[in-house]
A and B are shown apart, each in its own frame.
Chain A
């Protein structure tokens, strides 16, 4: 009996010690009273927000910004759905997850009157429903880029990617919901299809695609060091790759004629129970300021839904070769496919098992 009691007490002490330790770590949380917050906890991609912008914000407002980084879109979803959202004040996620997050009740509704600069954001990229819950930050086109000197063919549509000439030439980003849409489009279906028969056809198409792919991920590294000569990738990563090739740049964005390309958004949301809402609003208003965002774009040359900021941005950014393509309006979005995600997952796994034999 005594043994059990002692064990229990010890257990409680250990637990208490660690929870206390944990909470003291996150600083002066919980004081969401009248006083303004002195810190802001942000969870987002690394290398995606200029250090100078953060420093300027800290100097101007006296709010300390704690950045922590995710490695996968899933990280932010996991934090939110496992109930750890309230540890943060701002979380970055992407448009494809918005519907689930809103319906699941994981997000705080935004008061846009506190973010007057949000007026600068192009409403075409910011749906009515999303306006209540998120602020679009940067966006990226998922398109095809190839090396004009080394790539055996000129690529003008997705079907070019599965030609036998492309074997051993192709690099690609990964993920079921990035790969299946291009196959569905190549076959003439809705990129967000929930029909199993269409997804199954897309799987057959992707098998040929997969045969040509050398590696998934690290596309820009592989194209710069000559392992691949064409890639399905993001515009920002392309900008990095082109910049690192400097004057010897032979990369070009594929001149697509008809096929639409995917446009994805990275957005900031305020998780339910966030402790420094005022600081979060202050930051969102700061980052949507055209001048600030223009400065941020120097370090992070991605496409930006903030029209005023793009107008204020440097010539170099606006004329960057990674954005030199004329089908910016011919786009599709990744939508939440609900339970059909299981179908996608099934065929995605099948895709990654059948090959390599």
Chain B
């Protein structure tokens, strides 16, 4: 009796289990549990010879209250914000340009945007350095054409760091915005034009609001990863400024203060949660476009 009931229930549940089961399990095992553990570690103490001593303490969070960390966090937020704004300014018109192409061309253009990622990001960063270094082609050209008399220092400047960050994160801003622009229905735009709205008005009053979910997820997808980056800023910026990513890496590395590194990670998780919460006020999180 119970067996047959169980089986009946089982047959009903099997498709659900087979389809939603693996992904749920994977996310719980390899995302939820590790993240919970990071939170747990952040409340422990640094082991004298590295590792973690399981004595509860708030030391890491107290350390994070110090003014130095405040500066680091502000700086990181600043760079991430710059990157995000730049990615939006460049990415939105670009996504719009792609979205207006026929679907086959559009998907080819998107692919074209991703192919450079087949070369390693370090190789691309190195290439930027080679282009802009003191005796590099850009400087040589400017010296030969007498635009300048002295080589210009491009490398290790904020400008080059920003260029590196934009070229690294732009595709992740373009993809969601492209998806939501593509879904825009032409008739709506045409209606707006027919009713006599100027293109700029249509853009501000119709296009932008309707594609807002795409824009917001582009913000999330560039802002938070940029907040945790350190490879790009170190290589192109000359490692003179520390960001949150550096601090985390150093704590888990040479400094061997895992709880502090974990606490900084928790801070990043909190920022992530906050942004997703904000997003959920405007649109359904489940429908968030990321690609």
Contacts and interface: CB of A to CB of B under 8 A. Distances in A.
A and B touch in the complex (CB under 8 A): yes
Interface of A: 2-3, 6-7, 10-11, 14, 72-75, 77-78, 80-82, 100-101, 103-104, 106, 168, 174-177, 210, 213-218, 221, 225-227, 338-339, 341-342, 345-346, 349-350, 352-356
B9 interface: yes
B242 interface: yes
A81 B72 contact: no
A353 to B, nearest CB: 5
A176 B247 CA distance: 12
A227 B153 contact: yes
A353 B71 contact: yes
Given A78-B252, A226-B135, A349-B72, A214 B49 contact: no
Contact of B133 (A104, A106, A225): A225
Given A7-B25, A74-B253, A177-B254, A353 B72 contact: yes
A72 B250 CA distance: 10
B25 A14 contact: yes
Contact of B239 (A3, A7, A216, A354): A216
Nearest to A104: B49
Contact of A345 (B50, B129, B238, B257): B257
Given A176-B255, A215-B240, A217-B239, 6 more contacts: A3-B17, A11-B25, A11-B29, A168-B153, A216-B239, A350-B68
19 contacts: A2-B9, A14-B26, A73-B254, A104-B49, A168-B153, A210-B240, A214-B238, A215-B156, A215-B239, A217-B238, A226-B133, A227-B134, A227-B155, A338-B48, A341-B256, A346-B66, A352-B241, A353-B72, A353-B75
Given A81-B49, A353-B72, A342 B240 contact: no
B78 to A, nearest CB: 11
Contacts of B235: 217-218
A349 B25 contact: no
Contacts of B242: 349, 352-353
Contacts of A338: 48
B29 to A, nearest CB: 7
Nearest to B253: A74
A214 B9 contact: no
B12 to A, nearest CB: 11
Nearest to A351: B242
A2 B156 contact: no
A167 to B, nearest CB: 12
Contact of A101 (B6, B21, B46, B49): B49
Nearest to B133: A225
A77 B256 contact: yes
Nearest to A71: B253
A133 to B, nearest CB: 14
Contacts of A177: 254
Contacts of B72: 349, 353
Nearest to B69: A349
Contact of A355 (B51, B66, B240, B250): B240
Nearest to B254: A74
Interface in B46-70: 46-51, 66, 68-69
A225 B25 contact: no
A72 B253 contact: yes
Given A3-B13, A215-B238, A349-B72, A342 B255 contact: yes
A349 B246 CA distance: 10
B209 interface: no
Contacts of A215: 155-156, 237-240
B10 interface: yes
Contacts of B199: none
Contacts of A352: 240-242, 246
B71 A81 contact: no
3 pairs of A and B residues whose beta carbons are closest in the complex: A215-B238, A74-B253, A104-B49
B153 A2 contact: no
Contacts of A103: 48-49
Nearest to B75: A353
B21 A339 contact: no
Interface in B6-63: 6, 9-10, 13, 17, 21-22, 25-26, 29, 46-51
B151 interface: yes
Contacts of B250: 74, 345
Given A213-B240, A214-B156, A356-B241, A346 B256 contact: no
A6 B10 CA distance: 10
Nearest to A1: B6
Candidate in A10, A73, A106, A349 with the most chain B CB atoms within 10 angstroms: A349
A152 B13 CA distance: 78
A342 B259 CA distance: 12
Given A345-B257, A349-B72, A226 B151 contact: yes
